[in-house]
Structure 1
Amino acid sequence: MEALRHNLFYNKKIFIDGEGTIYNDVNLTKEFGNITQINDLKALSENADFTWHWHIPKTEIDICKHCEFRYLCLDSRVPIKRESGGYYHELECNYNPFICKWKGENEYLTLKEVGVVSNSEEYTIDYEKLKTINNILWGS
C-alpha cells in the first residue's frame, strides 16, 4: 500500500552523517541542519522541502509508471519535475520495462533505441517502433 502513494526509497528516510548533518539520503547534498541543534525531528518530517520526494510514487514518474516492478522498486534516483508537468529521471534505469530486459542482458536496448524519450522537455513513446521491436524480441 505504501508504494501506491509514496516513493519507496525516499519515504520517511533521514540520513545523519558522522558530523551530525541531516540529509534526505546519503546521495543528496542539501543539508537540513545538524542533529545537535534540532529539538524536534517530527517538525523536520513535516517540512515540505525535506519531504517533497516522499510523495512521488513510481506511478507518477515517466518510465517507472510502465514498469512491472514499480510497486517494489527501491531505486535511489531523484525524480525531477518537468516544467510542463510530470516527473522524469536524468539517468536511465538499468531495466527497460518496454522490452522487459535488464542492462547487460542479451538483446537489451536503451530507451532511445526503442523509441522512448523522457527528459526535461518531453515524454514521448513511439508505439509503432516499440511494437516492431517487441515482435522481433518476443515474437508476435
Structure 2
Amino acid sequence: MVSQCTRFAITEGFSREILINYEKEIQATPKGFSKYLINKEKGNKEYDKFISDNALYSIHPKANGYVWNSFSFITNLIIDISVNTIDTPISPILNELLVEAIEIRYLIRSQKKLEQYLTKISGVSLRTIHIVIKDMEVDEKYLSRLFSHPLIKNIALPISFKKSLTLDVIHKDMSQGISFYDPEEKSLINLHITPSYELVSESKEYHTYFNRKLYISSSCQVKNAPESTEEFADIRLIDCKELKTIVQSIAFQKYWRVTKDNCDVCSDCEFRNICVDRRIPKQREERWYHEKECNYNPYINKWKGETGYVSLQTTGIISSAKTFRIDSDNVAYLNRILWEEI
C-alpha cells in the first residue's frame, strides 16, 4: 500500500513502513503508522510526537487517485555516441517522440565532435541533457564550455578523472552538476535519487526504469534499455515514423507496466515506490520475478554489506520461474535474532 499527498508518501513493507518526505528525507516508521495517520487515531504518544515533529497532516484522499502520465511517447532517450551513431539525425527523433530528456553516452575522444553534436539538438523541446564521458580527456575550461549549454544539467566522468580536475575553477553551479562513476560498478539498483511526487505516482502504474525509455546502442540497435536483450531495428535503416511505430508496439512496451506491486519480493519492500531497478523482470503466469537478488532484503530490513544481512534464500524466500514461497517461521526467527532479544 502507498498513501501520499503532495508533501509526503508512506509505503508499507513486509515488516515496516517508510515515510517519504519530499521536502526533507526518507524515514523508517513502524508498520501500522500509515493507518494511524489516515484514520486520525490518537493515543500513541510516540506516533503523535512523530506527526507533530514532522508537521504531517492527513493523507489527501484525491492524491491517491492521481495517475502519472506524460504527453511524450518517450520521456528518456539514451544514445551511445560512437563512430556508427555520430551521424544519426537526432533532432527529428527527439521532436517526433516528444523526448523530455536525453542521456548522451559519449564513447569517442573528439571534444569538437561532442560540441558539434550538441548543436544538432539545439532548438528541440528537451528539458534536460545528461552527458556520460567514457575516456575522452577533459579539463576545467572544456567542462565550463559544455555547461554553457542551458539544457546540460549533469556531466558524469570516470572516477579516475577526479584527481586531475580542480572543480573550484568551474562556476559553483556548474561544479555541482559534475558527478563521477566507477566503470566497474555493476549495481542494478538506484536508490541515490531525489524522491518526488511524480516518481512515487509513476511507480504505482509503471516500471520506473523501463517506462517510456528508448536506447540506441553503439552498434545502432534500437532497444528499450541498455539492459534489454531484444533488438527491434537498426536506427540507420528506419525513419522517425517507423521508430514511432516500434516504440508504440506491445513488444517494445513489454516491461513498461510491470509494477513493483506485481513482482515477487519487491511487493514486500518498503522502498519499492522510490526504487529505480534496472533488473529485467521475468514473467511467471500473472506475476513477475527477478533472477538476480536485490541488494536489499526487505524481510529483515538489511542491506548487503550490513551486519546481519543474509540472502533471500537463507531467509527462507524462494522466488523462481516455478513458485514464490515465504518461510514465515524462519523469517520471524531471523528477525528475533536481529532485532529482539531471545
Query: TM-score, structure 1 length as denominator?
Result: 0.93
Matched residue, 2:326? 125
The offset of 1:44, in angstroms, is 1.9
* Mapping for residues 1-140 of structure 1, pairs under 5 Å: 1-39=201-239, 40=241, 41-83=243-285, 85-139=286-340
Higher deviation after alignment, 40-49 or 92-101 = 40-49
Which consecutive residues of structure 1, in runs of 5 or more, have no partner in the other structure?
none
Deviations 1:88-132 (A, max 9, x none): 100111110111111111110111111110001110001111111
**Which is strand-richer, 1 or 2?**
2
Q: Is the 8 A contact 2:289 2:320 kept in 1?
A: yes
The offset of 1:55, in angstroms, is 0.7
Deviations 1:56-109 (A, max 9, x none): 0111000100011111111111110114x3111001111101111111111101
Matched residue, 2:77? none
Q: Is the 8 A contact 2:227 2:280 kept in 1?
A: no
Write the letter of the residue equivalent to 2:278.
S
The offset of 1:139, in angstroms, is 1.2
Count, aligned residues = 139
Query: In structure 2, the residue corresponding to 1:22 is in which secondary structure?
Result: strand
Query: In structure 2, the residue corresponding to 1:99 is in which secondary structure?
Result: coil
Higher deviation after alignment, 17-26 or 35-44 = 35-44
Q: Is the 8 A contact 2:209 2:277 kept in 1?
A: yes
When the two chains are superposed, the root-mean-square deviation of aligned CA atoms in Å is 1.3
Runs of 4+ in 1 over 3 A off after TM superposition: none
Query: In structure 2, the residue corresponding to 1:14 is in which secondary structure?
Result: strand
Q: Is the 8 A contact 2:316 2:331 kept in 1?
A: yes
Query: In structure 2, the residue corresponding to 1:52 is in which secondary structure?
Result: coil
